[in-house]
């Protein structure tokens, strides 16, 4: 089982959307297990109703969700930690500095991993993560808007829906990368 840990602030919008949309796109019995946590999450808060409705519109399952705070233990068992914004990636690295090579933003990871996928290469998904970490040091910097998915907290439903669509596109890239290696 390969875990991917998505991280946002409250673990009630972006990271849970990423977790549940990725889960919906994976084939039954997949060895990839998405999870989520928040840098400022309250343990066991439920998903907001509007987020659940948007998630279910896009084919995800909102049942049984409970938020949880990001911990070093959660990160220790995840070969890939994906923040929904740079601040989340940075918080994860501060919490577990040894995890730096496996911490990215969601959009950053897909961009860097896609760049290497075109060149091929052997190995499993862990090799994709390692190659993306290597490419990160050589890639030209991009504006934060290219890596961050804006927080829809207290924003109109349309902005939450746009956020969910952006996450959905990015997790589709993860599915593609996973499928290429498995």
pLDDT digits (tens, 9 = 90+) for 108-143: 999 999 876 545 556 788 899 999 999 998 888 899
Q: Yes or no: say if 34 and 81 are a contact pair by the CB < 8 Å rule.
A: no
Q: Each residue of 35-72: pLDDT tens digit?
A: 999 999 988 778 889 999 999 999 999 999 999 999 99
Q: What is the pTM of this model?
A: 0.95
pLDDT recorded at residue 110:
96
Res 121: pLDDT: 56
Phi then psi dihedrals of residue 77, to 5 deg: -95, 5
Residue 77 has pLDDT above 90, yes or no: no
Contact by Cβ (8 Å): 129, 102: yes
Range of the domain at 62: 2-181
The CATH code of the domain that includes 99 is: 3.40.50.2300
| Local confidence band at 21 (pLDDT 50, 70, 90 cut-offs) | very high
Q: Residue 118: what pLDDT?
A: 45
Looking at the structure of the chain, the number of domains it has is 1
């Amino acid at each position: 089982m390969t875990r991917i840990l998505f991280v946002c602030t409250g673990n009630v919008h972006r990271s849970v959307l990423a977790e549940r949309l990725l889960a919906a796109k994976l084939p039954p019995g997949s060895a990839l297990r998405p999870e989520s946590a928040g840098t400022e999450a309250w343990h066991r808060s439920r998903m907001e109703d509007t987020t659940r409705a948007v998630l279910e519109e896009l084919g995800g399952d909102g049942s049984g969700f409970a938020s949880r705070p990001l911990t070093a233990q959660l990160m220790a068992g995840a070969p890939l930690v994906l923040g929904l914004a740079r601040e989340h990636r940075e918080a994860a690295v501060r919490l577990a500095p040894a995890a730096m090579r496996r911490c990215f933003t969601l959009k950053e990871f897909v961009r860097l991993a896609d760049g290497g996928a075109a060149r091929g290469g052997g190995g499993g998904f862990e090799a994709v993560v390692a190659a993306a970490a290597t490419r990160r040091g050589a890639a030209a910097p991009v504006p934060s808007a290219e890596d961050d998915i804006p927080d829809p907290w207290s924003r109109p439903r349309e902005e939450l829906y746009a956020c969910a669509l952006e996450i959905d596109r990015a997790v589709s890239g993860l599915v593609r990368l996973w499928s290429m290696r498995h």
